Amino acid sequence: MGSIRVLPDVVASQVAAGEVVERPASVIKELVENSLDAGAKSLEVEVRGAGSVLLRVSDDGSGMDREDALLSLERHATSKLTSAADLATVRSMGFRGEALPSIASVSEFVLRTRQASASAGTEVVVKGGKIVAVREAGCAPGTTVEVNSLFFNVPARRKFLRSASTEAAHLDRAVETVALAFPGVAVHYRRDGRAVHRLPAATSLASRVADLYGAEERAALLEMPEAESQGVRVSGLVSRPGATRADRGRQFFFVNGRAVENVFLSTGLREAYRQMLEPGRHPSIFVHIVIDPQAVDCNVHPAKREVRFRHGAEVRESLRSAVEAALRQARADWLQPVRTHLTARIEPSAGYGSATRPFRVAHQPELPRPVMPESPPDPPGGPRTEGATPRVIAEEFRLVGALSRRYLLLEGGEGLVLLDQRAAHQRILFERLQRGVAGGGVAVQRLLAPAVFELPAREHEAVAGSLAVLAAAGFGVEVFGGRALKVEALPDFLAGRDPQRVMEEFAAAAVSGGAARLRGQAAEEVVRRAVARLALDEGGAKDEREQRALVTQLLACQLPYCDPDGRPVMLQFSWRELERKFGRD
């Protein structure tokens, strides 16, 4: 006796609903995607009781005639796909023809729709998948789908819903996602009778972000210069360094308008931010990626949340370079005014006597050339003479002094800058060593007498396996018998250090990092760890000359605002902020 049966349609839809309609937010997602596929320019979303009482989406899209309205409720009825081959090029959000019948099978469902050219619309009422009524209805052009009592006939699913606040958070996220995916579409969102968002059609993603999250959030983001490489177009916004969050709640990746999760994308973002993230912090990102539909498979997840790229590594690299470009640009923008002040205006602070020379970044020959005019303009009132009394102009930037030997105080045009000397030193050492390890060439200081010492076996092995890289970084090291090393030279910026201690730190970092050899990412990690231990231990720069050198070298770094672990190097306090704190605002 055969026990295999074909499921009645309603049951099949309820089973499908298990996959497509995970929770109330998935209903909103599916309905809103249908509206967008129908060309809507304006959406109204209303929910009550965290979605288990009511979910309603109204649009001003194409609408349907009576026949299509009925067809849309049948399984695998879709206007978007006619053959399997179409799947490869699908540009619409939907394509399986599953959402409406699935949703209608687990709710009390009303579809009201009208084409603009028609004199009247159609209303279809469905209860638990059974059509209860079909009638003519007076309604505006477009479509409204109303979902009442979700899961009323599937008590098991209802029980699995989380707390109202969790479901509401998912609903909010679903609406935010669509608003960010389609900035040009107006979105009104009401929850339990209260307007959560009234978003006008925006002309850019940046202004949509500002409307959605506020001007402050927008200001904490950098615009990625629009870039296209290898057929992948990337545009969007990403956190300024330091403006990161404790969660991933503001990470939105869109591929051809579809919100997706994909490991290549998250890795690309992380790699671009590599040295700028403290543990447990996450950058915000709102990014649109446009790619040939044939190079991406959207049909790998029931809710289409995940995609598979044909060339994942290329997508990752495109995203990474777009984020890096934004971060580089931010660095240049940030440093430009500081540099101008430093070269043109920095003054000796009163406490350091009059013999101090004006502070010029260009006098550091071994550093990469900073972006600035060759000879800085003289300040107003003619060239500065030595011994001039410090003046305070609004545009001044000067070294005020040290605070508890740990911090430096700088006064800039925009306010106060507090600089952590140890963090600054770590950043400087890190970049120099990194340049050396990457083969960038460094100046070498020969020791007066070679240092010979022994290291434990594992440490010795780590150094012995990395001689070439160490040589590139300016270390004159060779293996000198079983466990011994001979050091004849150090990179110049480590001159004066105890060679044994330096090698011990490197070896320890290599061993604890699990790297048998210094290479690529592993080398960078070893350098990071070693630097953390070699940087100024206590005290900081001894005198003003050293303090100035520190600031100069810091500002020549690629990423001056954070140490290699992502902690901030400098904190800025604007005049406004100070005034506010003193109650003068």
Which residues of the shown chain bind ligand ADP in the complex (CB under 6 A)?
Answer: 30, 34-35, 38, 59, 61-64, 72, 77-80, 94-100, 143
Nearer to ligand ADP, 299 or 354 (CB): 299
CB 59 within 8 A of CB 46: no
Report the partner that residue 38 touches, choosing among ligand ADP, Mg ion, none (CB closer than 5 to 8 A by kind).
ligand ADP
Least distance in Å: CB of 78 to Mg ion? 7
The span from the CA of 416 to the CA of 408, in Å, is 10
Nearer to ligand ADP, 58 or 284 (CB): 58
Nearer to ligand ADP, 83 or 389 (CB): 83
Nearer to ligand ADP, 63 or 312 (CB): 63
Least distance in Å: CB of 16 to Mg ion? 12
Least distance in Å: CB of 121 to ligand ADP? 12
Report the partner that residue 242 touches, choosing among ligand ADP, Mg ion, none (CB closer than 5 to 8 A by kind).
none
**What string of DSSP letters covers 347-402?**
---GGG-S-PPP--GGG-TTSPPPSS-SSPPPPTTSS--TTPPP---TT--EEEEE
Least distance in Å: CB of 135 to ligand ADP? 19
Least distance in Å: CB of 558 to ligand ADP? 47
Report the partner that residue 143 touches, choosing among Mg ion, ligand ADP, none (CB closer than 5 to 8 A by kind).
ligand ADP
Least distance in Å: CB of 86 to Mg ion? 15
Nearer to ligand ADP, 21 or 402 (CB): 21
The span from the CA of 359 to the CA of 580, in Å, is 32
Least distance in Å: CB of 55 to Mg ion? 15
CB 531 within 8 A of CB 498: no
Distances (CA, A) of 82 to 78, 85, 90, 92, 95: 8, 8, 11, 13, 9
Report the partner that residue 284 touches, choosing among Mg ion, ligand ADP, none (CB closer than 5 to 8 A by kind).
none
The span from the CA of 271 to the CA of 320, in Å, is 7
Report the partner that residue 62 touches, choosing among Mg ion, ligand ADP, none (CB closer than 5 to 8 A by kind).
ligand ADP
Report the partner that residue 256 touches, choosing among ligand ADP, Mg ion, none (CB closer than 5 to 8 A by kind).
none
Report the partner that residue 35 touches, choosing among ligand ADP, Mg ion, none (CB closer than 5 to 8 A by kind).
ligand ADP
Residue nearest to Mg ion (CB): 94
| Residue 434 CA from chain centroid, whole number | 24
Report the partner that residue 464 touches, choosing among Mg ion, ligand ADP, none (CB closer than 5 to 8 A by kind).
none
The span from the CA of 406 to the CA of 399, in Å, is 14
Q: Look at the block and give the residue holding tokens 């910026």.
A: 493
Task: Write the binding mask 64 to 103 for Mg ion: x where contact by CB under 5 A, - elsewhere.
Answer: ------------------------------x----x----
CB 176 within 8 A of CB 212: yes
Nearer to Mg ion, 293 or 379 (CB): 293
Least distance in Å: CB of 96 to ligand ADP? 5
The span from the CA of 156 to the CA of 168, in Å, is 20
Least distance in Å: CB of 437 to ligand ADP? 52
Size of the site for Mg ion (CB under 5 A): 3
CB 102 within 8 A of CB 17: yes
479, 484, 489, 491 alpha-carbon torsion, rounded to 10°:
90
Least distance in Å: CB of 46 to Mg ion? 19
Nearer to ligand ADP, 61 or 268 (CB): 61
CA nearest 18: which of 298, 297, 303, 258? 303
Nearer to ligand ADP, 136 or 228 (CB): 136
The span from the CA of 499 to the CA of 336, in Å, is 38
Q: Which residues within the stretch 335-374 sit at the binding site for Mg ion (CB under 5 A)?
A: none
Q: Report residue 51 as tokens.
A: 């979605």
Packing angle, helices 544-555 and 312-345, rounded to 10:
140
Which value, in Å, is the radius of gyration of the alpha carbons in the chain? 31
Nearer to ligand ADP, 146 or 524 (CB): 146
Least distance in Å: CB of 83 to ligand ADP? 14
Residue nearest to ligand ADP (CB): 94
The span from the CA of 435 to the CA of 558, in Å, is 11
Packing angle, helices 24-37 and 164-181, rounded to 10:
20
Report the partner that residue 98 touches, choosing among Mg ion, ligand ADP, none (CB closer than 5 to 8 A by kind).
ligand ADP
Least distance in Å: CB of 72 to ligand ADP? 3
The span from the CA of 286 to the CA of 252, in Å, is 5
Phi-psi region of 311 (alpha: psi -120 to 50; beta: other; left: phi over 0): beta
Least distance in Å: CB of 290 to ligand ADP? 21
Q: Report residue 155 as tokens.
A: 């008590």
Least distance in Å: CB of 27 to ligand ADP? 11
Considering only 13, 14, 26, 34, the residue that binds Mg ion (CB under 5 A) is 34
Nearer to Mg ion, 94 or 474 (CB): 94
Q: How far apart are the first and last CA of the chain?
A: 86
Report the partner that residue 499 touches, choosing among Mg ion, ligand ADP, none (CB closer than 5 to 8 A by kind).
none
CB 202 within 8 A of CB 208: yes
Report the partner that residue 504 touches, choosing among ligand ADP, Mg ion, none (CB closer than 5 to 8 A by kind).
none
| Residue 266 CA from chain centroid, whole number | 9
Nearer to ligand ADP, 7 or 571 (CB): 7
CB 381 within 8 A of CB 309: no
Nearer to ligand ADP, 126 or 569 (CB): 126
Nearer to Mg ion, 61 or 94 (CB): 94
The span from the CA of 319 to the CA of 204, in Å, is 19
Nearer to ligand ADP, 103 or 212 (CB): 103
Residues near Mg ion, by CB under 5 A:
34, 94, 99
